[in-house]
Amino acid sequence: MAASERPPETRAQEDEATRRATGGARTLAATMPRLILEARRVAATIIHGLHGRRRAGTGENFWQFRRFVSGEPASNVDWRRSARDDHLYVREHEWEAAHTVWIWPDRSASMLFASPLVWETKLDRALVVAFALAEVLVEGGERVGLPGLMRPSASRNIIEKLAETIVHDPTERASLPPTFAPSPLSEVVVLSDLWSPIDDVRRTLAQLSATGANGHVIQIVDPAEESFPYSGRIEFREPEGGGMITAGRAEMWRTDYAARVARHRAEIRAETERLGWSFVIHRTDRPAAELLLALHARMGAGNGTGTSRWQALTQAGGAA
């Protein structure tokens, strides 16, 4: 159908969608340099004194000496090192197989929210953590990819590659990762406010874990979304669906709101525990480095009981 033949309301909707997408792209492009600098600063605090996620395995680089274990082949003994002590030692090499980590920062409209309690949006925080995590992982010899956007890469300028890919992505992204099949040995990191319907969250996590991949789900929230500090007549607008609801006395909603949020999170936590994934809640009024350090410490640990993994994250990362 030619443009002149389209109904006026259709043309108006398309024009509005185009303006919204263009404005969002320009805003993101203008903000990206600051986010990149912040991500490098956060990553530097983690990388300093850190040695990646090294582990013993087949490789050429020396990692550490360990005590010889009875039953091992005598050929494993490092006789030069053992001659300096009363014990036998084995020379271990660093495992060099590149690990793939898929990072999904939610860039949907709801992530643009920032209350007066903070100075950056949830999207800003998600991108800073995604970029910083990618920098730390590549520094440790891993590969990082963006589902549906960028193949795994171990490039030393990984932050710039991720930023350029996101800025030039013309697609309006959904709140949850697209359908894809990560390899069984890879890891998936989802950074989102996770306010999607619980059935959608369950379906997405089930699909991502179907191949046996390990994962980490991080709910990034504004502190106002936790405390609901509203009173009086308030008009609430749904940023993605366009819906609107007015509260005559918003303070009367606080108890029901808190109960609903707690129920939603409990359902997400139950699903991640069932899958052996980790789940953590991160508020944008907390330092990004807290989340990055806790998340990096847990990655590569393999499957385990979901409860203990989540508890370790919350204790180390200041999560709710």
Q: 240 and 170 share a domain?
A: yes
Q: 70 and 153 share a domain?
A: no
Q: How far is Cα 132 from Cα 47, in angstroms, rounded to an integer?
A: 10
Percent of the chain predicted with pLDDT > 90? 38
Q: Is residue 12 included in any domain, yes or no?
A: no
Q: 73 and 195 share a domain?
A: no
Q: Is residue 180 included in any domain, yes or no?
A: yes
Backbone angles phi, psi at 219, to 5 degrees: -95, 115
Residue 97 pLDDT level (bands cut at 50, 70, 90): very low
Helix (H, G, I), strand (E, B) or coil at 238: coil
Overall domain count for the chain: 2
CATH number, domain containing residue 270: 3.40.50
Interval 9-37: pLDDT, tens: 545 544 554 455 455 556 656 777 777 88
Residue 7 pLDDT level (bands cut at 50, 70, 90): low
Q: How far is Cα 306 from Cα 105, in angstroms, rounded to an integer?
A: 22
Q: How far is Cα 163 from Cα 131, in angstroms, rounded to an integer?
A: 8
Interval 219-259: pLDDT, tens: 999 999 998 888 888 888 777 666 777 777 888 888 998 99
Q: 232 and 86 share a domain?
A: no
Is residue 141 pLDDT above 60, yes or no?
yes
Angle made by CA atoms 118, 121, 125, in degrees to the nearest 5: 100
Say if residue 257 is exposed, middle or buried (CB neighbours under 10 Å; 0-12, 13-18, 19+). Answer: middle
Q: 217 and 125 share a domain?
A: yes
Q: What is the pTM of this model?
A: 0.71
Lowest mean pLDDT among 13-22, 144-153, 210-219, 256-265: 13-22
Say if residue 261 is exposed, middle or buried (CB neighbours under 10 Å; 0-12, 13-18, 19+). Answer: middle
The DSSP bridge partners found for residue 104 are 190
Say if residue 91 is exposed, middle or buried (CB neighbours under 10 Å; 0-12, 13-18, 19+). Answer: middle
Give the structural domain span for 184.
29-52+99-317
Query: Quick check: 200 and 240 in contact, CB under 8 A?
Result: no
Return the structure tokens found at 273: 């525990």
Helix (H, G, I), strand (E, B) or coil at 154: coil
Q: 270 and 162 share a domain?
A: yes
Q: Which residue has the higher pLDDT, 268 or 8?
A: 268
Q: Which residue has the higher pLDDT, 121 or 36?
A: 121
Q: Which residue has the higher pLDDT, 55 or 234?
A: 234
The runs of H, that is alpha helices, within the chain are: 8-47, 79-82, 122-139, 158-167, 198-209, 223-227, 254-275, 288-298, 306-317
Q: 173 and 218 share a domain?
A: yes
Tell me the average pLDDT of the chain.
Answer: 78
